[in-house]
Structure 1
Amino acid sequence: MSDAADTKYRERMATKKQVVDERIARATIERGVLILMKGNGKGKSSSAFGTLARALGHGHRAAVIQFIKGRKATGEYLFFKDHPQVNFHVMGHGFTWETQDATKDRDAALAAWAQAEVYLQDPNYHFLVFDELSYMLKYGHLEPERVAKALAARPAHQNVIVTGRTMARELQDIADTISIVNDERHAFRQGVKAQPGIEY
């Protein structure tokens, strides 16, 4: 790199640093956040579990509730189930097109949400993952007002991630961060079979 190019680069980075430092200085609020991971792309739950690993690295106590997945052979369950700082609940009966039983699905959703409300009232838990909770609202198994009210009333330091393709307006209205994972291409549509360690 020439001297002129090096000087220009350093000036550009100095300007960028000033902008970033000013943004950091303005962020003075300390509290937990509600994060919604939505969209039709792959990676919403993966992002949530990556953040779970980060929280555990800081010694935070955590809980996970999976609202749809009905099997306990997923990689995330096998990895986190014995961690002393994690309570892991697989409370669904599988995908709705598998069960084809609205009453069974609704009862499972209500039981899972009752457990979620216990954690949302417990200040000992710093990080919660409600995996695929959004589908329970979409299919009418849970009332969005009840869910939003409990999320809004949680302990001030508590962080929550909710995953699912679509999100009820009530949750989006109170969310701090909303990320959209888009589907540009997926191996499944090319005939590639779902595999452990990637899809589950």
Structure 2
Amino acid sequence: MQIETPPSEKPYEKPEGERRGLVIVNTGDGKGKSTAAFGLAFRATGRGKAVKVYQFMKVPTARFGEHRLADRVDLPVVGLGDGFSWKSKDLEQSGQLARDGWEKAKADILSGEFFLVVLDEITYPLIYGWLPLEDVLETLRNRPKDVHVCLTGRRCPQEIIDLADTVTEMKLIKHAFQAGVPAQRGIED
């Protein structure tokens, strides 16, 4: 490790642009995409903003840690899927669940009623061909100017990355799962 001297002057100038809704993408092979999105959702909820989270791969009955905390702070989290694709008994039904869920999320984005809409794991139904990419892009382009949208998932389509205001790629360096350690309650669920 190299020791650094803390900056003594502000390392940036405050932007002078207009405040507006952002498109934020968390993608990549590393851990933390959904965790970061929930951090945004909880932060905005803590500021009294209207927020809704759609989880495209989680079942509606999922009760992970984020769901339990969301209930405590009245943050709506909507499970739209039927779990991991390799556990699905009917991939056509999985695709239909994604399409039905997208219509709900799209309506909420375009309504202007929400400060932030999180589209957790939306990249999977996109890359599986279950959702039309152009409809998602058009919705992002045509949303009300103050609506923020956060999209998560691996292998985010380049077209969404190009349209987004902020893109973070989570890079896998090392993961306990690779060493044979199973998921830990409270850390990964």
Considering the TM-score relative to the shorter chain, is it more than 0.5? yes
TM alignment of 1:5-16, pairs within 5 A = 13-14=8-9
The correspondence of residues 102-117 of structure 1 with structure 2, limited to 5 A, is 102-117=91-106
CA distance in structure 1 between the aligned counterparts of 2:150 and 2:186, rounded to whole angstroms? 21
List per-residue Cα deviations over 1:85-134 (Å, max 9, x = no partner).
x3220111001111052201111101110110111112221011110001
Name the aligned partner's letter for residue 25 of structure 2: L
The secondary structure found in structure 1 opposite 2:8 is helix
After TM superposition, give the deviation of residue 184 of structure 1 in Å. Answer: 0.6
Q: Which residue of 1 aligns with 2:166?
A: 177
Q: Which residue, out of 33, 36, 43, partners 2:22?
A: 33
Does structure 2 conserve the Cα–Cα contact (< 8 Å) formed by 1:67 and 1:90?
yes
Q: Is the 8 A contact 1:145 1:170 kept in 2?
A: no
Q: CA deviation digits over 1:31-54, x for unaligned, max 9?
A: 010000000000000000011111
- Please state how far the C-alpha of 1:155 moved relative to its aligned partner: 1.1
Query: Partners of 2:98 and 2:72 in 1: how far apart?
Result: 24
Aligned to 2:63: 73
Aligned counterpart, 2:137: 148
DSSP 3-state at the match of 1:64: strand
Aligned partner of 1:5 in structure 2 is none
Give me the whole-angstrom Cα distance separating, in 1, the residues matched to 2:155 and 2:16.
29
Q: Report the structure number with the largest CA radius of gyration.
A: 1
Deviation at 1:82, TM superposition (A): 4.8
CA distance in 2, matches of 1:83, 1:91: 21
What TM-score does the superposition give when structure 2 sets the normalisation length? 0.91
Native 8 Å contact 1:72 1:78 kept in 2: no
- Within the alignment, does 1:197 sit opposite 2:172 as a pair? no
Alpha-carbon distance between aligned partners in 2 of 1:35 and 1:116, rounded to the nearest angstrom:
16
Structure 2 CA distance for aligned equivalents of residues 27 and 132 of structure 1: 33
Unaligned ranges ≥5, structure 2: none
**What amino acid sits opposite 1:130 in the alignment?**
L
Of the candidates 32, 38, 50, which is equivalent to residue 49 of structure 1? Answer: 38
Question: 2: distance between equivalents of 1:105 and 1:147?
Answer: 18
> How high is the sequence identity, in percent, across the aligned residues?
34
Paired residue type of 1:111: D
**Aligned residue pairs: how many?**
184
Corresponding position of 1:162? 151
User: Which range moved further: 167-176 or 129-138?
Assistant: 167-176
